[in-house]
């Protein structure tokens, strides 16, 4: 179970949450054309925010790394969050 989940804030103020009660929305459900703000919300309440505008393209994915063969099931998850503007990528890496 992840400790951080995204929240998409649209330019009309409505919000699409990744986890909304018993419903889990997919990243692909986000209408990127209406996105004003993208937030990564930690279970402890800390919020990472990307402010967006027509010149900024959202970047977000989770890089998941794990192994087998050594008896471990440890999985590392790192959120990559940021934006691309004028060909330059600005990304922050945040451990889950």
Partner 1 sequence: MSAIVSLTIATGVGETLHEGELAINYQNDDAVTDPASSPISIPAAPALAYSYEKYAKLKFDGTFTAITNVKIWKSQGVLPDGVNIKGDAVEEAAYVQPVTTASSIALNDVPENDTDAVSLQPAAGITVTGSYSKYLVSQAVISGGATAQTLATQTYRWRYDET
Contact set with partner 1 (CB under 8 A): 1-2, 24, 26-29, 60-71, 77, 80
Question: How many CA atoms lie within 13 Å of 53's alpha carbon, on the beta-carbon side?
Answer: 3
Nearer to partner 1, 13 or 96 (CB): 96
In the complex, least distance from residue 19 CB atom to partner 1, rounded to whole angstroms:
8
Structure tokens at 42: 């930690």
Question: Is residue 44 classed exposed, middle or buried when 0-12, 13-18 and 19+ CB atoms within 10 A define those classes?
Answer: exposed
CB of 20 to partner 1, least distance (A): 13
Distance in Å, CB of 73 to partner 1, minimum: 8
């Amino acid at each position: 179970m992840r400790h951080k989940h995204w929240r998409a804030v649209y330019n009309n103020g409505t919000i699409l949450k990744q986890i909304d009660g018993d419903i889990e929305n997919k990243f692909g459900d986000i209408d990127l054309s209406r996105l004003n703000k993208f937030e990564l919300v930690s279970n402890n309440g800390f919020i990472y925010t990307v402010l967006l505008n027509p010149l900024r393209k959202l970047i977000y994915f989770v890089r998941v790394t794990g192994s087998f063969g050594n008896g471990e099931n440890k999985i590392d998850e790192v959120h990559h969050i940021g934006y691309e503007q004028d060909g330059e990528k600005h990304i922050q890496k945040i451990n889950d």
